[in-house]
Structure 1
Amino acid sequence: MLTEFGITFAYHRMVVHKAFEAHPVIKAITLALGSMAFQGPVLHWASVHTKHHAHSDQEGDPHSPTIGGFIHAHFEWLLEMNSASLNEVVDKWGGRYKKDRMIMWFSDTFLFWAVLSLIIPAVLGYMAGGWHGAWTGFLWGGLVRIFISSHVTWSVNSVCHFFGARTYTTTDKSRNNPVVGLLALGEGWHNNHHAFPASAFHGLAWWQLDVTGLSIALLEKLGLVKKVTRIPETLMTKRRIDSQSAALNVQELALTEEPVLEDA
């Protein structure tokens, strides 16, 4: 759960969408946790995700079930992305991330954190139960954890563009899925996210559990995050699929725009 939190809090909402600013210590800890999730360096993850938002469910989307099918969106796209194609994505979509020294440091040291995430549970297991405990810790705290966390993240790309409800108007097929919302610490409220990508909170209704969003709110109260982006109720009303409200103003449009997509 901690490493998945590193993905949802740091990789996704903090780095890609700049939904808030975190204290350097919080930023470092959560980037380390995200690296331990074994989902790739933050530079690579963020660049691919930025491209996804630029072409969501259209040609050019790295993982759209609408374009390539459910299995392709879930994990098959990863098998097709070689070093050359990944470098091309980073060169085109990752320019702004390269300007952040901490992001680059954690990207450069990704392998260390990834391996450390396997060593720590093995060491803890050894301390608790010898070599049998070490193997058990490595298996469940390492390999099984990575397997489950990866499929949870991949489900946002596949399930949440295929199954669920649509509350807000978007140009893609994004959907709110409560099961993924629970498992992915709030990321499953995906239609909400694509409607308001700048929002620090994906659960926009009181009943939509968003563990990552609740954590952001708590850290804000503690003074450890600031500049937290919230979506006004009036804007949410205007973007509802069943709404007949007036067009958005300039300030409201800024909250519905995707992140910086390409460097000049």
Structure 2
Amino acid sequence: MKVFFVSKLPIWGLVALPLLGTIYAGYLWATSGVSTFDLTLCIVLAVITEYGVTFGYHRLVVHKAFEPNPVLKAIVLGLGSMAFQGPVVHWASVHTKHHAYSDQEGDPHSPTVSGFLYAHFEWLIEMNSKELGTIIDKWGGRYLKDPMIAWFSKTFLYWSAFSLILPAALGYAVGGWAGAGSAFLWGGLVRIFLTSHVTWSVNSVCHYFGARMFTTTDKSRNNPIIGLLALGEGWHNNHHAFPASAFHGMRWWQIDLTGLTIRLYEALGLVKKVVRIPESLQIKRAEQGKVVALDVQHLAMTEDGPPLMPEEIDEAA
């Protein structure tokens, strides 16, 4: 299967250039300040592109936690493609393998197996085109059957370019060429730095620091800081206990901003077939202190569906 985008140079650029841009932006902020426009642009683009990853790439594509309206689906896949985290089929395939071998040999980014920094970003640099192609060959077919996912995967570079052109164009409209450069810095490089490290922290921090509500076969943990920054993804132990759940926050105090939007979309009729984990099943899972009803490796044995189908949830509850 074709690998749409990967090489050492672009990956190094993904890690190094946003870092350098953020250092420079910090210097400018300290010496001359930052405009409200640039700061707002950075925050808004960071939130909506990160949302495209958590809502679109993760809960929708990989885990099929709900069925969205086609227009909503296209919007979030476009936003996710603007996040500079790879084509959706690449992201989904690697994440599927992560669930299949979580914190075991074969996990692409386990801090338990390979160390914290490797899980955070070094795996991106180490993974070559052949290895990624093998992962996509094994796990990507289920996703590429969807024409929309295939199209957004093939057009990923255009969406990435657009995510840099857009802030520059808005900055130019507000402040000419100087405004374009400043907006590119904040809405482009700083934004990519922030969203990349937030997502990478789910792979590293949330398998290392935090509490565990459920016993799973891996070391996943709930981290409230990453939970907030990653729009709900930081309740990672909950997610590994119930991968198909549309909601990662399973207590009222576990803030899951992505989950809140799913509830809103459901009320508006924009999503349906939302996967919920009954409280009785959550309690059973927590009290028994062992894996019941679901094992994280179930995903490896499921050709097309999510790791726990709604009817299985009903039976287990």
Unaligned runs of 5+ in 2: 1-46, 305-317
Partner in structure 1 of residue 94 of structure 2 = 48
Residues 258 and 190 (structure 1 numbering): CA distance in 2 closer, same or farther, change over 3 Å?
A: farther
Q: 1:57-105 CA distances to partner (integer Å, 9 max, x unpaired)?
A: 0000000000000000000000011111111100011110010000000
Of the three residues 50, 55, 60, the one matched with 1:4 is 50
Hey, what's the Cα distance between the residues in 2 that align with 1:29 and 1:134? 25
How far has the Cα of 1:259 moved from its partner? 3.3
Moved over 3 A (4+): 244-248, 254-264
Partner in structure 1 of residue 34 of structure 2 = none
Partner in structure 2 of residue 163 of structure 1 = 209
Q: Does 1:79 align with 2:133?
A: no
Hey, what's the Cα distance between the residues in 2 that align with 1:67 and 1:61? 8
Of the three residues 212, 224, 229, the one matched with 1:183 is 229
Q: Does 1:99 align with 2:145?
A: yes
How far has the Cα of 1:255 moved from its partner? 9.2
Residues 247 and 235 (structure 1 numbering): CA distance in 2 closer, same or farther, change over 3 Å?
A: same
Hey, what's the Cα distance between the residues in 2 that align with 1:74 and 1:246? 28
Q: 1:165-208 CA distances to partner (integer Å, 9 max, x unpaired)?
A: 00101000000000000000000000000000010000000000
Q: Does 1:259 align with 2:299?
A: yes
Q: 1:2-59 CA distances to partner (integer Å, 9 max, x unpaired)?
A: 0000000000000000000110000000000000000000000000000000000000
- Other structure's SS at 1:259 match: helix
How far has the Cα of 1:244 moved from its partner? 4.1
Structure-to-structure mapping, 1:79-228, within 5 angstroms = 79-228=125-274
How far has the Cα of 1:218 moved from its partner? 0.3
- Other structure's SS at 1:48 match: helix
- Other structure's SS at 1:120 match: helix
Of the three residues 80, 84, 93, the one matched with 1:38 is 84
What code does the residue aligned with 1:201 have? F
What code does the residue aligned with 1:259 have? L
Is the CA contact 1:43–1:94 (under 8 Å) kept in the aligned structure 2? yes
Is the CA contact 2:100–2:296 (under 8 Å) kept in the aligned structure 1? no
Which TM-score applies when normalising by structure 1?
A: 0.94
Q: Does 1:28 align with 2:105?
A: no
Is the CA contact 2:67–2:271 (under 8 Å) kept in the aligned structure 1? yes
Residues 261 and 62 (structure 1 numbering): CA distance in 2 closer, same or farther, change over 3 Å?
A: farther
How far has the Cα of 1:112 moved from its partner? 0.4
Residues 256 and 80 (structure 1 numbering): CA distance in 2 closer, same or farther, change over 3 Å?
A: closer
Partner in structure 1 of residue 278 of structure 2 = 232
Hey, what's the Cα distance between the residues in 2 that align with 1:51 and 1:165? 24
What code does the residue aligned with 2:299 have? P
Hey, what's the Cα distance between the residues in 1 that align with 2:217 and 2:233? 19
What code does the residue aligned with 1:225 have? V
Is the CA contact 1:198–1:259 (under 8 Å) kept in the aligned structure 2? no
Residues 143 and 86 (structure 1 numbering): CA distance in 2 closer, same or farther, change over 3 Å?
A: same
Residues 207 and 79 (structure 1 numbering): CA distance in 2 closer, same or farther, change over 3 Å?
A: same
Hey, what's the Cα distance between the residues in 1 that align with 2:101 and 2:288? 27
- Equivalent pairs counted in the alignment come to 258
Residues 257 and 53 (structure 1 numbering): CA distance in 2 closer, same or farther, change over 3 Å?
A: closer
What code does the residue aligned with 2:249 have? G
Residues 256 and 58 (structure 1 numbering): CA distance in 2 closer, same or farther, change over 3 Å?
A: closer
Partner in structure 1 of residue 17 of structure 2 = none
How far has the Cα of 1:257 moved from its partner? 6.7
Is the CA contact 2:97–2:300 (under 8 Å) kept in the aligned structure 1? no
Hey, what's the Cα distance between the residues in 1 that align with 2:153 and 2:165? 19
Hey, what's the Cα distance between the residues in 2 that align with 1:177 and 1:132? 40
What code does the residue aligned with 1:109 have? T
Which TM-score applies when normalising by structure 2?
A: 0.79
Hey, what's the Cα distance between the residues in 2 that align with 1:262 and 1:45? 18
Hey, what's the Cα distance between the residues in 1 that align with 2:96 and 2:289? 30
RMSD over equivalenced CA pairs, Å: 1.8
What code does the residue aligned with 2:106 have? G
